[in-house]
A and B are shown apart, each in its own frame.
Chain A
Amino acid sequence: MGGSSPCASCKLLRRRCAKDCIFAPYFPSDDPHKFAIVHKVFGASNVSKMLQELPVHQRADAVSSLVYEANARVRDPVYGCVGAISFLQNQVSQLEMQLAVAQAEILCFQMQEPNLPTHQIDQVDKSFLLSNNNFDDNNIPQYLSFASSSNVIQDPLKKESLWT
């Protein structure tokens, strides 16, 4: 960073912040905690290697997700992000069950009164309920055996969280 102040990583690592410092664009000096937590969990050397292996336009997202994971692991040293995944999988299962019950009720109405308007029902995707296609397509493993933890759920990648 030349004559300007060193980035948060170089400050923490107590080294000169070069012009082409790989950390500088993503760890500004005004947010030292961000690098501190990533360094604590992953290590500066590993983070540097990971960033070097990525094209420049993907590095910001990579840093965001690393920061998220590091925060998760600090908040929950046993389960980390997996706790959040397990919790969310439970939520999805519960919602799918509720949806199945509700749609069964709709089918009862249809059977009792076949002439009732069903324009909304036709658009309901029943396959959403009856299969776990979403999980199969994304290869998301079922971690329901882990104790679920909501300690770490917040905004991944700046999306709105449902649990705040």
Chain B
Amino acid sequence: MAPNSIHWFRKGLRLHDNPSLREAVRGAGTVRCVYFLDPWFAGSSNLGVNRWRFLLQCLEDLDANLRKLNSRLFVIRGQPANVFPRLFKEWKISRLTFEYDSEPFGKERDAAIKKLAMEAGVEVIVKISHTLYDLDKIIELNGGQPPLTYKRFQTLISRLDPPELPVETLSDALMGRCVTPISEDHGDKYGVPSLEELGFDTEGLPSAVWPGGETEALTRIERHLERKAWVANFERPRMNANSLLASPTGLSPYLRFGCLSCRLFYFKLTDLYRKVKKNSSPPLSLYGQLLWREFFYTAATTNPRFDKMEGNPICVRIPWDKNPEALAKWAEAKTGFPWIDAIMTQLRQEGWIHHLARHAVACFLTRGDLWISWEEGMKVFEELLLDADWSVNAGSWMWLSCSSFFQQFFHCYCPVGFGRRTDPNGDFIRRYLPVLRGFPAKFIYDPWNAPESVQAAAKCIIGVHYPKPMVHHAEASRLNIERMKQIYQQLSRYRGLGESRTQRTCDATHLLLQDNLLCSTHKHTLTLHTECLSNISPLCYKRSVVKSTLLLCGEVLKMIERVLKKS
């Protein structure tokens, strides 16, 4: 008898290049595509309305595309672990397929479901298609540890075979004799819910700037490539005022939800490059956007505490300030810095901001000005940012707050100057902060410096209609650069290990002035490049001090252990 399959959609919300879906229909008698939604979870989760809307649109689109194949999407209300056993029985299922999820919690969830399925005698087929590569292979190639610098990651990638080609889009031909049994009341039981049904108030909700779904994604990728072909320039586009706005060629949310296959994108880029550049082989930088994503997925896949500072072996412990009021001002676009507030407004309204804008607000919240933990910023992005994926979101925040990955921290984005250089006229600010519309370009980035007459003419008095700046940026960045140096210098003390070092910390020159402005992180990076030590976080130095101590007095410690055991 031909097997009855369930394909379980989580990410990978698409019919093109979906290898596990392809397996679901292969030789099967029936196939049912399910998506689990917990209506109770929806209301209480910390995902914002834009993210929910995007998801629901993806599901609508998926359902519409499945209808064309005489199938439907089954949106199941409930938790997979609770519902699957019933479905297996009710639908006489013998095969379950889903896309591989590399994130630690996803892996845990999937392992539990696999166990359930095995107990029910259901065959489970899992395929990798959310990332370009098998991340475990990258880790294996790196000696069992995820690479901690992007350079190292690139080196490893260049030693791997190119990603596998996309598989064929699900079609009538591929469906073959496989059918989807659909009941009369399918819509009531399994239909895609509306935002209202999930408990969101949609009154006055502006239409989506980023419409969700595979169909939209495929239109966008064509436009994206057309534009690239037209400029015939594959280098990173220089930043300008226009790049700050949502673009109809933007792809990141579609990659996040898997409406667009990263492999499809990869190979389309390759083809186009070869066509335009007359068959020269494309450089790694062509795939920058895809590889960064891959880098963070790799770094996170074996680290369940990747989104935390405490207990996260790759994250430097920085004495961040707890300050809920300041955090709220940042999240609600009330910092008094128009550049920051405009970006945060765009994020809340539209669900997407340019990556340099992300750098600007992340730097402002953490090491640049407010000295607030990156974890707090990450949570706000998780709520608001359409393309925020657990790994990529946490990884980028650690990166931008200089908590990991050995990057430089001498440079903080200025909340006034950075925007001004990008968009001298301030159109971006006027668009998202209409209250400042009347200010001339000269003062739009620092309206608190405008004379009273200018504020009056702009019909916006700073401190009344728009907040005063919440920090003195020059002073804050001076303080914070010092803080960062302190932390990294302390870490670097552990680098030398050896006796003399340890004792030197007890010397009278304990508070020696350091004259190295570029700081010690850079030295870590160099060590990494030259020695190819792939996974020594600054924190590990501390640990390796303990370790070397253990070696040094290993005998003694064994003794302690023995005594302790006896007692």
A in complex with B: no
Give B contacts to A, CB under 8 Å: none
